[in-house]
Amino acid sequence: MKKTLLLTTAAACLTAFNANAYTHSMMGQMRPYVGAEYVFSHAKNGGEATNAKDNFHSGKADIGMEWANFLDTEFSYQHSGELKSANPEGGKIKSSFQAYALDLYGKYPIMCSPLSAVGTIGGAIYHGDYKGLPKDDFNKFGYRAGVGMQYDFTDNISARVIGRYTYIDSRYLNNLMEVNAGILYKF
């Protein structure tokens, strides 16, 4: 009897918490935010770039809008550092990329904590430079999807970590697997 009462009370509390979070988020106001992130990218190179180095380190700047506590849209700019590799045909390959992205973020609060599960989908225009190869640059649209976690330290400051897969399918760069870690400031 006591166990049944305890389980029923726990289930009611969880349901009430999620209903309250949903009602609060639906009634919330739009809030702009900015962010800065570090991104580690593992590239799957193809064609003549197969022997090029494939681990990029990037900086990323974000500008977004929180539409409700569970839904954001975000524009970001990412710029990788330049990697130098030996070309099997002689010479060097210098590779780097830039991305202009628009993503949709969905968040779901976990229990009674400031931690949220995050899912994201979107697209980006990638500009890649592969100096030392026959066609040395490209502009290509890539589809992106990712999952991660976000922790809200205060009402204004959050940290997040997201793993993301991007399909680009260019002559030299097929896809990227990335890990993003950064800080967001909401106004």
pLDDT tens digits, 46-63? 888 888 899 999 999 999
Residue of 132 and 156 predicted with greater confidence: 156
**For residue 41, what pLDDT band results from cuts at 50, 70 and 90?**
very high
Which one, of 164, 154, 145, 140, lies nearest residue 184 by Cα? 154
Residue of 59 and 131 predicted with greater confidence: 59
pLDDT score at 2: 54
| Average pLDDT over every residue of 20-48 | 80
Instruction: Tell me how far apart the alpha carbons of residues 126 and 2 are, in angstroms, rounded to a whole number.
Output: 59
- 148 pLDDT more than 70: yes
Say if domain 2-186 classifies as CATH 2.40.160.20: yes
pLDDT score at 81: 94
pLDDT score at 128: 93
